[in-house]
A and B are shown apart, each in its own frame.
Chain A
Amino acid sequence: MRRPRAIRSGGHLARKDGAIAGYLIKRLLLSIATLWLLSVLIFAGARLLPGNVGRAMLGPFADERAVQVLNHELGTDRPLLTQYASWISGLVTGDLGQSYAYQAPVAPFLQTALLNSGKLALLAFLMVVPLGILGGVLAALYRDRWPDRILSVVGLSATVVPEFVSGIILILIFGVWLRWFPISATPPRDAGFFLQLYHLILPSIPLVLVLFGYIARMARAGMIEALDADYTRTAVLKGLSFPRVIWRHVLRNALLPTISVISTQTVYLIGGLVVIEILFHYQGIGSLIYVAATKKDFPMLQDGIMAIGILFTITTLFADLLYAVLNPRIRFQRQE
């Protein structure tokens, strides 16, 4: 009797793994197609902007001959298809090309910017996710009572204040007036972990303010739905302790929508912080792309956007997988 059961259960496991692997391969192929499409769009989009590269670099008052010499040196006078082919073939082989403006390889710029953005995003993430979830859980548990009211008013007001406003206020209070924190998010060279952290605290607060309300609201809604669900009532009636009910039954189900929200915000936290990066004097990927676009530094612009595209693909894939692991309905729907 035991043997067949074991085989059955083994087969069940294999089916489950196969389903996830198939799902993964399909998603990966789709991602590659999306990225290729993105490369075409960004290449074409950059070239639709008025003006030419040499002119943008030398300025409106430069001699036309000088502009032509520069365009020839940069290769921007070659046919568009040739330029696209040379860019994309380089990209596939790991050669990101040369920045037009800085006459230097793009890779080190992109690497520094991604690393910087990653650090800031991680710190903001580590601060806002627990805070947001905790806030949402508390609000749901004290639904329509004063903790809920305060949390929703505070969260909502913080969300509608733009980052540059909260950023300037924070700088003026903690940087200029009290001088508790450095204004520049860029630490001195060779700074250790804690000094880097110290420089990043002030700029991460505006991000926490923007995202806290959002995450807390999602968590609150999920919690309320889960608290009202039949399985929770069953668990309570079954006689489980309150913390056990919340932890095992409510949170698991309540946080599913919150995870997808957080995953989309991760990309914002890395690529969308132009204003914060400029205000706090920080070399991140957002301002790198923004400046490259205004200066028509196409290799830097294209590689930067591709990096964000890849990051977006990876985080959504990861979030979907996490969602699938937590939600059996997604995991098994293919077999039904």
Chain B
Amino acid sequence: MKRNHRLLDLLRKGRSPLENHLIDGFVDGRVSRREFLRHGSVLGLSVPLLSATTGALGFQLATSSPARAASGGTLRVGQIVPAGSIEPAKIADGGGITVLSQVAENLVLSAPDLTAQPLLALSWAPNDDGSVWTFKLRPGVKFHDGRVMNAGDVVATFDRLTDPEVGSNALSAFTGVLSKGGTRKVDDLTVEFHLDAPNGSFPFTVSTDNYNAVILPADYAGDFEAKMNGTGPFKMVSYAAKQGASFERNPDYWGGAPLLDRVEFSFYDDYQPQILALLGNEIDVVQYIPVLQAAAVMSNPEIAVINTPSSAHEQVHMRNDMAPFTDKRVRQAIALCLDRNQLVQGLMRGMAEVGNDSPFMPAYPSTDKTVAQRDIDIATARQLMEAAGMPDGFEVELTTEKYQEIPEYAQVIQNAVREIGGRITLNIMDQGAYYGDAVPGKSAWLDSTLGITDYGHRGVPNVFLQAPLLSTGTWNGAHFNNKEYDGLVSGYVAALDLEAQRSAAGKIQRLLLDETPIIFGYFYNFLTATRTGVSGVVPTAMSHLFLQQASL
């Protein structure tokens, strides 16, 4: 590797110790180029700097701006009907996020390659311990009503979302991270976030991952649907709840006017009708297709499938405080019965990554890849069952929800554990009934001995590490209670530099493999389908659909 040390020294000037530490790690080979780009983006190293550094080392960062395609036309998009009114603070479903992403934007983009990219924020940087983050805002961004966005709008937006009285859906993401009053204006284009505790991944908390956190005018007073006044690339023309929406290009968009004249959204109640409409050339894009439904279009030459990597997964939790799972050897034995490659290739048609029984999927930069991958091993599983005093196996009910491929996954598990004498009966419920009131005692999800729960994509594993696994976690279906784990996770969350994160991650991964409170069998991709000829459609695994570069 050819190194240009003079250029590197120049680039290091004015960088914080943290940033320089990351650059050192990259130069010394402890941090790979991809990891450097990913983590550097979180710390707020700007894209030009990242590219200059990798360039100084003999790499070139590919330019991300696509060739400008022909302008004009109307794009017809099919999507699942939003579950409720389009009120940014209350949206909790993919359908609502897709609509919202046309008109309103977050400070940061949680990009498909797991980097944090600038949207309404131009750059960001932490203080020494990561308890205060300073964000520089993009100048000259206009709301659809013509007013210019400034720090006051950002402060008001975050104060609104962190106010328990408002009851925003983002409250769970902000708990323990940011409280009302923690967001402060420095000048018109600078905002400081004073956090409840040091946090090395904070940019993701204000990114598209936290979809409710779109920047609205400071004087926003409700009834978003009437005007949809945001900063997004498209302006609302009309919105009919349960039916559809149309948008027109925003000529004043900060990223340049979109190529399309208009976008027409049709709302569907199910996936299959959208696929049929796509085949029949009644729509050009289907915003999301589950893997199991995608088989119908994968081989069709008229259809292109956009395959976005994601950390979405199904958690198989085992109640650590209930028989037969009080003994960790039983939990390990069940995990050893699963053929993960078969799950990825068979159940998920190859559109997934193998999981290693922790939220650290391989693509996260902080994942410690030296931790051995757990594989199918029936012999060891049988020995573990014998050692646990259960040579004849066990009987248990597997409770889960009717959602995407989960019922099929449940059957795979049911068959797999027969090898160690496991007799599983399935109880597959409607999704609403499974989640119930989502509090212990009134929720099949949190009360079942053995269950499978769906988790959507997150750009960083923090949420997956906390709510379902901490002893205080509110989504802890496994009832996992391990003080050592709790300590490791708070260390991981606070860690600012990549090597410290990875060191904490390695310990967490090994601890979770040993304890196996939850089986993470695979992480599946997010699929979007378009008719061939449509280009520039950029989905996120969170259900945003960015169409400013789209053309027909």
Q: Report A's interface with B, CB cutoff 8 A.
A: 49-52, 55-70, 73, 100-104, 109, 168, 171-172, 175-176, 179, 182-184, 186, 277-281, 283, 287-288, 291, 294-296
Contacts and interface: CB of A to CB of B under 8 A. Distances in A.
A64 B165 CA distance: 12
Contacts of B171: 62-63, 65-66
B184 interface: no
A69 B87 CA distance: 15
A9 to B, nearest CB: 58
B257 interface: no
B169 A176 contact: no
B169 A62 contact: yes
Contacts of A172: 276
Which of B168, B281, B433 is packed against the most chain A CB atoms within 10 Å?
A: B168
A296 B169 CA distance: 18
A197 B139 CA distance: 52
B280 A55 contact: no
Contact of A51 (B84, B266, B433, B474): B433
A62 B172 contact: yes
13 contacts: A55-B438, A58-B169, A62-B169, A63-B169, A63-B171, A69-B164, A102-B241, A103-B87, A171-B276, A183-B282, A186-B266, A279-B276, A281-B273
Contacts of B438: 51, 55, 60-62, 64, 67
Interface string B164-177: 11111101100100
A70 B85 CA distance: 13
A69 B84 contact: no
B471 to A, nearest CB: 18
Contacts of A279: 270, 272-273, 276
Contact of B432 (A58, A179, A296): A296
A66 B168 contact: yes
B90 interface: yes
Contacts of A70: 90, 167
Interface in B81-101: 81, 83-85, 87, 90, 92-93
Given A176-B279, A291-B269, 20 more contacts: A50-B432, A57-B90, A59-B435, A61-B172, A63-B172, A64-B474, A65-B171, A66-B167, A66-B168, A66-B169, A73-B167, A102-B241, A168-B272, A175-B276, A179-B281, A183-B273, A278-B269, A280-B273, A281-B266, A291-B81
Nearest to A73: B167
Contacts of B175: 63
B242 A283 contact: yes
A47 B439 CA distance: 18
A103 B85 contact: yes
A179 B270 CA distance: 22
Nearest to A275: B270
B456 to A, nearest CB: 9
Contacts of A55: 435-438
B306 interface: no
B266 A175 contact: no
B92 A62 contact: yes
A58 B439 CA distance: 14
Nearest to A291: B269
Given A62-B92, A102-B85, A50 B282 contact: no
Contacts of B281: 179
Which of A56, A73, A280 is packed against the most chain B CB atoms within 10 Å?
A: A56
Contacts of B436: 50-51, 55
A214 B466 CA distance: 58
A56 B167 CA distance: 15
| Top 9 A-B residue pairs of the complex, sorted by shortest distance between their CB atoms | A69-B167, A63-B171, A60-B435, A101-B84, A66-B167, A59-B92, A63-B172, A103-B85, A60-B438
Given A51-B436, A70-B90, A283-B242, A171 B280 contact: yes
A51 B432 contact: yes
Contacts of A63: 169, 171-172, 175
B443 to A, nearest CB: 8
Contact of B90 (A58, A61, A68, A278): A58
B439 A283 contact: no
Nearest to A175: B280
Nearest to B279: A176
A109 B81 CA distance: 14
Contacts of B442: 50
Given A50-B436, A104-B85, A183 B277 contact: yes
Interface string B471-512: 000110000000000000000000000000000000000000
Contacts of B92: 57-59, 61-62
B276 A183 contact: yes
B269 A51 contact: no
B475 A278 contact: no
B57 interface: no
A69 B165 contact: yes
Contacts of B81: 291
Contacts of A73: 167
A176 B270 CA distance: 18
A279 B276 CA distance: 9
Contacts of B241: 102, 104, 109
A206 B266 CA distance: 23
Nearest to B78: A281
B362 to A, nearest CB: 24
Contacts of A51: 432-433, 435-438
Which of A67, A68, A168 is packed against the most chain B CB atoms within 10 Å?
A: A67
B483 to A, nearest CB: 24
A304 B286 CA distance: 30
B254 interface: no
Interface in B277-298: 277, 279-282
B243 A179 contact: no
